Amino acid sequence: MNRGVAGSGHGWTMGWAVAWNCIAKTYIIQKPARDFKLGDWLYRQPGTDGAAFDSSPILAEGVFESHGRPVAPQSLYLAQLSDRLGGPSLVNAGYASNSLQLFNNKSVKPLPPLPTETDKSTGPDLALFRPVNTSQVRGSTREFGGEKAVDGNDKTWWATNDDVTKATLEIDMEGPVEINAVSIGEAAGMEQHIQEYKVEGQVDSDWKLLSQGTSVGAYKLDKFPATTVWKVRLTILKAQAYPAIRKVGLYLMPH
């Protein structure tokens, strides 16, 4: 698929590729040139938004063969290995053969759903447990990593080192999500560190200003017109001491 600006923003994940006897909860196979999907299991998902992951049309799907049924041989990799090194190579790698009978129709037990957090006034927190990226993290461990700002725990927080008073925290929404409010909360005892900030959303492959302000304190809620974003970036522009953020929440509040 073309990841466009999603994640690391590196565009196409594969080209002229084959996904063979794959098992996954969901997948997307798009058509840059010619991509194939053979012998897949579980859920097939239509191609997502266009090349820039913005408002472009949905991209065409690749070629699907044997949807819902495995194909022979069970492993394309093992077939290539045998071609290169001969039949004994399979035994040396721990396989009795490469027959279809060795491919188990696996029932993959889904992971338990992540906890949700819903406030009566704001609705569900759409930033909860999303992937994050930060410009700086305090210390050399994950104790103050950026993920602490979206873990729903007020007793953990993202923080920078003492000498850092400008920093960014970027939340990957993992797809287009409509939001119209952001909440920010500083850690207990450090409520007056931030003196200026801004919040931007990635829209149509560019960054759009959603809100900005000065002090944050224990809890600050900014509202803005409903906007579909792929990422959200909080930038601390000025602070009198190192930023310590216990909460960044994103919402689509009812009108």
Stretch 48-73: mean pLDDT:
67
* pLDDT of amino acid 245: 98
Domains of the chain: 18-102 (no CATH), 118-251 (2.60.120.260)
* pLDDT of amino acid 62: 79
Q: Phi/psi zone of residue 234: left (φ > 0), alpha (ψ -120 to 50 degrees), beta?
A: beta
* pLDDT of amino acid 37: 59
* pLDDT of amino acid 153: 95
pLDDT digits (tens, 9 = 90+) for 6-58: 656 667 777 778 888 887 767 778 876 555 556 655 445 554 444 445 555 55
Written as one letter, the residue type at 118 is T
* pLDDT of amino acid 219: 96
* pLDDT of amino acid 50: 42
pLDDT band per the 50, 70, 90 thresholds, residue 60: confident
pLDDT band per the 50, 70, 90 thresholds, residue 108: low
**CA–CA distance, 250 with 204 (Å, rounded to integer):** 19
* pLDDT of amino acid 134: 97
Is the model's pLDDT at 146 over the cut of 60? yes
Is the model's pLDDT at 131 over the cut of 90? yes
Omega within 30 of 0 (cis) for the link into 73 = yes
The pLDDT mean for the chain works out to: 85
Stretch 134-155: mean pLDDT:
96
